[in-house]
Structure 1
Amino acid sequence: MTLHGAITQILLNTKVAMSPSGIANELNKIKLYSKKDGSAIKSSQIGARVKNYPHLFKKEGTLISLKSKTGVQKINAQIQQKKTSIDSIDQNTNLLVKVLMNEKNFKQASIIENSVPDSPGLYCIRISNPGTLVDSFSKVLKERDHNIVYIGIASKSLKKRFLGQELRAKGHGTFFRSLGAVLGYTPEKGSLIGKRNQNNYTFSQKNEAKIIHWINDNLIVNWVATDNEINSIESGLIREYLPLLNIAGNPGALLELSKLRNNCKTIARG
């Protein structure tokens, strides 16, 4: 809220003319307006702002009151418009989450090749039958009472990040590396030697093909294209659902998964 908007609200609430120091004291008390540096509002600032908005305020002696109903209505409209915009963002966020997590919207990973857009967004990966995983991992999903294995974001392109890297091994997909390790695959020994990044291990082409085949047979996926608050939405969903193969920001991250990934790194580093 602007300072003159805050002054307007104070005068509307009190319904009496007030001195600059009185208005400043009230603003400092209820924090309706805050300065960028966090310091207290001074009466001199109130006087200067009132002087700059003669269509809103009138000053008689040392007392300030509202002058124009039209101006007040305009300020109130701006405040309401801002509140409506914030509510809209919240509603849009809730709608995005509902669309993303609704199981009815999920599709078999094998049939999405030409459907994923080249735009930012969020994605969620589920497993059709948790029993196809080794017992220790399927047991965790049973305890968590869902079949969600991964939630992620694509800051630039769902097509490149989600489809290409995570599901088709075209690049360095965190999910693909984790899934390969869980399925029992390991990288070729020494394949990271001389590489700048000593963490992004990859599997042989033969094993990549097997993992992709497994993905197509066992995983169902969904996504929403958006660039609105995707980082915070992802963080919230990870904390809420504790997806099986998410590590970063996941309170339920599995030690066994980290061990499997570290073993792959050790092998790849030779």
Structure 2
Amino acid sequence: MMFHDFNKPSEKINELRINNCTGIYVVRSMHRNIFKDVNNEMHKEYQERTIPTPPEEMLKYLVDENVIYIGKGIGNGGLLKRFKQEFLHIGNGTFFRTVGAVLLFNPIKGLVNSNNYRFNEPEKQAAKDFIENNLEVSYECKHTLYEFFNIYNINIIEKSMIKLNQPIFNIQNNSNSSPLVTRLRNRCLNIARQNPDIIFENKYVQILRAQVENNWCVNYMCTTCGAVDLKKAIKKNEGHLFSAMMDLSVSELRRFPNYREVTRIAVDYLNLDERFILNQHWPTIFNEIGRAVIL
């Protein structure tokens, strides 16, 4: 049987730190009352939700009646990167955004890419606590999946699992997707799209905008002014710099004309651990600005 070793997300993240891989993961609720005290509509729908009995040849794709989400971690970073996105909100994560929507949190307004809406720190921490205290996760690495299903395409396996288990948080490839989850996600999108040209919440975006508006020098090796205005702004926000940078996607960052030059200077204000994590989050950006300058 696949996907039987369930545990708290934090425990699975620790496992993957030791032995990371690419593969598919399954999130399930610890019990059917996890939404009772946070969202009555969601609680009712989840209580009433059932999975049709599958044909015998499809039983191998069936996991658990309490499964609420199925996803995959592929490419650079594998499952570890995906788990950090989905359970810790480090970067962009569809599952984490859905949790926040279902918990009826309001996202930050005016993000560059509202599709990847985010939450302020109190809501972010509350969502992380909800995930850790109410959900369990199991994963299987790619080679194990290929051997078990005798299919050598992870996307096909994932789609088949979603089709059969009909997880309430999965929208795509789910013939029984939840209208309520879709509505709550759209609610967050609508809030995030308010004032789309004004982004006050993200400290790094403030720095990027101020550089453009004030035409601050961005020359990393400037011998005239030493890019002092930009460095003062970065230093002023040093305590928020890492989290603000991690909250931006590559596409959001690239909206600003001098993102390379500003980032080349900004990373000097991060410690080595933060630089390493940011390098994993923005690998293409680090390649653009010169890895040797950063690490």
Same-fold call, TM > 0.5? yes
| Residue matched to 2:12 | 112
Q: Which runs of 5+ in 2 are unaligned?
A: 52-64, 144-151, 195-295
Q: Which amino acid aligns with 1:108?
A: K
Whole-angstrom distance in 2 between the partners of 1:159 and 1:176: 15
| Residue matched to 1:88 | none
Count matched residues: 165
Q: Say whether 1:144 aligns with 2:60.
A: no
| Residue matched to 2:164 | 240
After superposition, the Cα gap between the structure-2 partners of 1:147 and 1:138, relative to the gap in structure 1 and judged at 3 Å, is: farther
Deviation at 1:185, TM superposition (A): 0.9
Whole-angstrom distance in 1 between the partners of 2:26 and 2:116: 22
Q: Which amino acid aligns with 2:29?
A: I
Contact 1:141/1:147 (<8 A) preserved:
no
Q: Determine helix, strand or coil for the equivalent of 2:116.
A: coil
Deviation at 1:130, TM superposition (A): 2.2
Q: Which amino acid aligns with 1:208?
A: K
Contact 2:27/2:136 (<8 A) preserved:
yes
Q: Which amino acid aligns with 2:21?
A: S
Q: Which runs of 5+ in 1 are unaligned?
A: 1-97
| Residue matched to 1:183 | 103
Deviation at 1:118, TM superposition (A): 2.9
Q: Percent identity, aligned pairs only?
A: 33
**Residue by residue, what CA displacement relative to the aligned partner does 1:84-138 show, whole Å, maximum 9, x if unpaired?**
xxxxxxxxxxxxxx322x3xx1112232231124321000000102212134333
Q: Say whether 1:206 aligns with 2:126.
A: no
1:129 to 31, 45, 51: 31
Q: Say whether 1:222 aligns with 2:122.
A: no
1:167 to 78, 87, 90: 87
Normalised TM-score (structure 1): 0.58
Q: Which amino acid aligns with 1:136?
A: E
Q: Determine helix, strand or coil for the equivalent of 1:223.
A: strand
| Residue matched to 1:60 | none
Normalised TM-score (structure 2): 0.53
Deviation at 1:262, TM superposition (A): 1.1
Q: Equivalent residues in 2 for 1:69-80 (5 A)?
A: none
Q: Which amino acid aligns with 1:132?
A: I
Q: Determine helix, strand or coil for the equivalent of 1:131.
A: coil
Compare 133-142 and 174-183 and name the one that shifted more: 133-142
Question: Considering only CA atoms, is the larger Rg found in Structure 1 or Structure 2?
Answer: 1
Contact 2:13/2:84 (<8 A) preserved:
no
Deviation at 1:167, TM superposition (A): 0.6
Whole-angstrom distance in 1 between the partners of 2:90 and 2:30: 24
